[in-house]
Amino acid sequence: MTAQLYSPEKLLKELGIAAPDEIDIEAIAEFCQATVIPQKLKGSAARIIGIGNRAFITVDSDSHPARQRFSAAHELGHWMLDRGKMASFVCSEKNFVSDWAGDNPERRANRFAADLLLPKFMFEPHAKNKEITFQTVREICSLFQTSITATTIRLVELGSFPAIIVCNSKQGRRWQIRGADIPYVIQVRDAPGEYTNAFDLLHGKVSTSNPGNTQASDWVTHPRARYYSIHEDSIKVTEDLVLSLLWWKDERQLLDLEEDEDE
Ligand SMILES: [Zn+2]
């Protein structure tokens, strides 16, 4: 098998996998000559060692089962994408949450894992017309046995409403992923405004109005944003990182802002 030719979707089709509960990551990895071994790990969440045509993936047996699945799929991504070039990778929980931007092996492995565990053709029917909130994310997580970050990204990419996911630390924005239908004139601020739920969570306060409507200018830089509102749902995912889902139930607001720009 020429591993490099296998995209996640091609792998699933080749193996005849058609439903979320059939995505057996250990069996898929084995098909790709990679053996997954759950084991107690210190200082990392997962690692992979490649020797010739075989790879051995170790995932931390103490972590949540959904996290172990993502870890295994992420390591398999390293194997499938960088096979021949790589000898080993050691990856941390931080890689899985932080590395969703730029072009580097960690981001590519995260993308591979998201596409394998949450494939478009299975995901879309479950996301159709659902609100873009972490409540929806949790429902989909339990169906696909996946982690919050990856599932949230897929909801933004494949859900029915225009949405953006932003990851912030106290120092400001770390990364963002925008739905395909978000116009260019909508640019996310470098840091959320002080009336947002994300701001409260980043500064150790308990957010009371989560999820809810926020003034759009607290999130985006458009000069007329203060006349509009935006749905925000934020959660803390690590000690210092907060994920925020921003979305528009009424697409007209987005179109209005785009037209304003054209005038
Ligand atoms: Zn990695």
Amino acid 3: pLDDT = 46
Better-predicted residue by pLDDT, 207 or 192: 192
pLDDT at 49 exceeding the cut of 60? yes
For 128-172, write each residue's pLDDT tens digit.
999 999 999 999 999 999 999 999 999 999 999 999 999 999 999
Rounded to the nearest angstrom, the distance between the alpha carbon of 75 and the centre of ligand 1 is 6
Rounded to the nearest angstrom, the distance between the alpha carbon of 111 and the centre of ligand 1 is 11
β partners of residue 245: 165, 233
Rounded to the nearest angstrom, the distance between the alpha carbon of 153 and the centre of ligand 1 is 18
Residue 2: which pLDDT band, with cuts at 50, 70 and 90? very low
Burial grade of 128 (CB within 10 A; 0-12, 13-18, 19 or more): exposed
pLDDT at 262 exceeding the cut of 60? no
Rounded to the nearest angstrom, the distance between the alpha carbon of 181 and the centre of ligand 1 is 30
Rounded to the nearest angstrom, the distance between the alpha carbon of 6 and the centre of ligand 1 is 19
Rounded to the nearest angstrom, the distance between the alpha carbon of 93 and the centre of ligand 1 is 9
pLDDT at 1 exceeding the cut of 80? no
Considering only the top CATH level, what class is 3-117?
Answer: mainly alpha
For 26-41, write each residue's pLDDT tens digit.
999 999 999 999 999 9
Q: Where are the domains of the chain?
A: 3-117, 163-262
Rounded to the nearest angstrom, the distance between the alpha carbon of 95 and the centre of ligand 1 is 6
Rounded to the nearest angstrom, the distance between the alpha carbon of 107 and the centre of ligand 1 is 8
pLDDT at 98 exceeding the cut of 90? no
Amino acid 211: pLDDT = 75
